[in-house]
A and B are shown apart, each in its own frame.
Chain A
């Protein structure tokens, strides 16, 4: 290849190659959602979005994801604290177990929950006579979300814990603080960035969850149908516009979350 002085050919070439590869794989599918969704006019898009079942599905997705996120962030914080502060037999086994759900297919996760909590499941069969039903409710969706997003917040928070100097906590203790005061005033502020990123990641993942929710929720429109399930159902019924309206909202939503994660990372780990 001929070299022009002061001009690096590889640079523009590799940038264009990157964009070109991503085009059919990522950009075009995303673009088609927007193009199709708005092709019959914004009015149609709006009315499809405002359909009661659609609104319900979006709300249900947000609420269940919110609770799953809340639980997993708190749990991730606790687990990270225990697993980075104490050394005990089986510690590594626990770390692997916590990380496992990411590697399990989501359909398997949903199936496993059904086998446990379902009407004839290991635990569910004892709950059924008491009139307690776990599966096919919003609670089941939260359980499924918790399961599949389990390691995300933990995975972000634990490394920060590991690198945090022990002497900060020891200093706080010698100054006279209780463990709780130390955690609240010293440890937690240093974890702020990790907690926010962990929460956003968990939430984004939970809102999009499909495989496990479709098994455990029963997919009942207006009752246990989340946004991704709504898209699937409407697509199967041939109502492409209805499915597409929600698809746009979900795509924009994830775009927003990841923009925050990317552009606010300086703020997230200010020292």
Chain B
């Protein structure tokens, strides 16, 4: 009763979809979930378009599996609703939703052969024997398991079992495919291989899919879009490029790849970090003079130079001293300590600002930079060398934990 009331109240405040957007394959609208008194999901909303692959990325315990189970009908939301191709299914039991779930353990029926497993959905729908046989044959060839049709699940490898699990759901034309940590049970090499296979398979069958994973590399490779989930709410949702290059929150920046985070303030259109300062084009409505901000940039966005001269599209941050260089195979990783004073870049068009508001300790925080091989070879660096740091791309976020979820200030000098 309470849940229903809350749901009704919620519906009224849910903004309607813009008319131009085509009907999404799946919609999650304002879903929240509680187990007892603990809230595990708060107002989760997202759409999955036809043929799209959406990845829900989050640490374990972030609530991502609960979202999946709610869409599948294995769990009831406290508020909110689930729509599949425009049909509301919130109150429908799992078996009437027509979603395909690929469980982490695959959940293949151990006493059925591969073909029986695949045909199960059609058998319980009482389809004609010939139709079942044809569909099973088509799916067996789609997932390339023809020669294993008479085997039992225990006789198959992990990857083969997963393909059976996918074929088993495709048999009844699911509205959406839900993958629960699909590669969690596999070793690293198989994992990479399989996710490419699945990506190709999904493009072929054109069924919308929602993946759940805690592996950022997997998320970037599998998803057309990624939703980053943190303690029960969506931090950011966007294409892999958007989420990686323009993280909306500090959590997103650090969860997806490595990030350097420096605290600074806004002073006359500049971000000032210690004695260093960078010109930044800030939207007036989000930032004001003297505001505390965070400057976020990725190690690979740092360009190192002996001089203050940087190619177009790079902003000079500061000078620093190389503390440590480590070789990590494909690239070189450097730890650089920014110079506390006098390290600021001089810019021809900007006057030099000396600030005292920003904490000096920020400059004592080391910055991590990575350099690819060609750069390493062209310009050798050793511990103790003094270098200038240029940034090809960075993000400025208000330094306020409370507003982090809603912020979207992206400043990218490379694009300007």
Contact = CB atoms under 8 A, between A and B. Distances in A.
A, B assembled together: yes
Interface of A: 165, 167-168, 170-178, 181, 185-186, 189-190, 192, 271
Given A168-B107, A174-B94, A175-B169, 6 more contacts: A171-B107, A171-B108, A174-B99, A176-B124, A189-B109, A189-B111
Contacts of B95: 173-178
A171 B101 contact: yes
A173 B121 contact: no
B314 interface: no
Contacts of B168: 175
B135 to A, nearest CB: 14
B103 interface: yes
Max chain A C-beta neighbours (<10 A), residue from B98, B99, B111: B111
B172 interface: yes
Contact of B94 (A170, A181, A190, A192): A170
Interface in B270-314: none
B48 to A, nearest CB: 17
19 contacts: A167-B105, A168-B109, A168-B110, A170-B107, A171-B101, A171-B109, A173-B93, A174-B72, A174-B74, A174-B100, A175-B100, A175-B124, A175-B168, A176-B121, A176-B125, A185-B124, A186-B109, A189-B112, A271-B110
Contact of A175 (B105, B152, B172): B172
Contacts of A181: 124
Contacts of A186: 109
A168 B95 CA distance: 13
A174 B110 contact: no
A173 B94 contact: yes
Nearest to B116: A185
Contacts, number: 72
Contacts of B172: 175-176
Interface in B70-112: 72-74, 93-101, 103-105, 107-112
A185 B74 CA distance: 19
B111 A175 contact: no
B124 A271 contact: no
Contacts of A175: 95, 100, 120-121, 124, 168-169, 172
Nearest to A168: B107
Interface in B141-178: 152, 154, 168-169, 172
Q: Which 4 residue pairs of A and B lie closest in terms of their CB atoms, listed nearest first?
A: A171-B107, A189-B111, A167-B107, A173-B94
A271 B156 CA distance: 13
Contacts of B107: 165, 167-168, 170-171
Chain B binding surface SS class: loop
Contacts of A176: 95-96, 98, 121, 124-125, 172
Contacts of B125: 176
Chain A binding surface SS class: helix
Nearest to B178: A174
A89 B109 CA distance: 32
A92 B94 CA distance: 30
Nearest to A179: B95
B391 to A, nearest CB: 47
Given A174-B72, A174-B94, A176-B172, A167 B103 contact: yes
Nearest to B180: A167
Nearest to A178: B95
B185 to A, nearest CB: 12
A64 B66 CA distance: 50
Contacts of B96: 176
Given A167-B107, A181-B124, A271 B74 contact: no
Contacts of A171: 101, 103, 107-109
Contacts of A174: 72-74, 94-95, 97, 99-101, 169
Nearest to B120: A175
B101 A170 contact: yes
A97 B120 CA distance: 39
Contacts of B99: 174
A181 B100 CA distance: 18
Contacts of A189: 109, 111-112
Contacts of A178: 95, 124
A185 to B, nearest CB: 7
A134 B394 CA distance: 87
A250 to B, nearest CB: 35
Contacts of B152: 271
B349 to A, nearest CB: 61
A106 B343 CA distance: 93
Given A175-B168, A178-B95, A170 B103 contact: yes
A170 B101 CA distance: 9
B234 to A, nearest CB: 24
B115 to A, nearest CB: 14
Contacts of B112: 189
A170 B111 contact: no
A182 to B, nearest CB: 9
Contact of A173 (B74, B105, B111): B74
Nearest to B105: A167
A184 to B, nearest CB: 10
Nearest to A189: B111
A53 B96 CA distance: 59
Contacts of A271: 110, 152, 154
B103 A185 contact: no
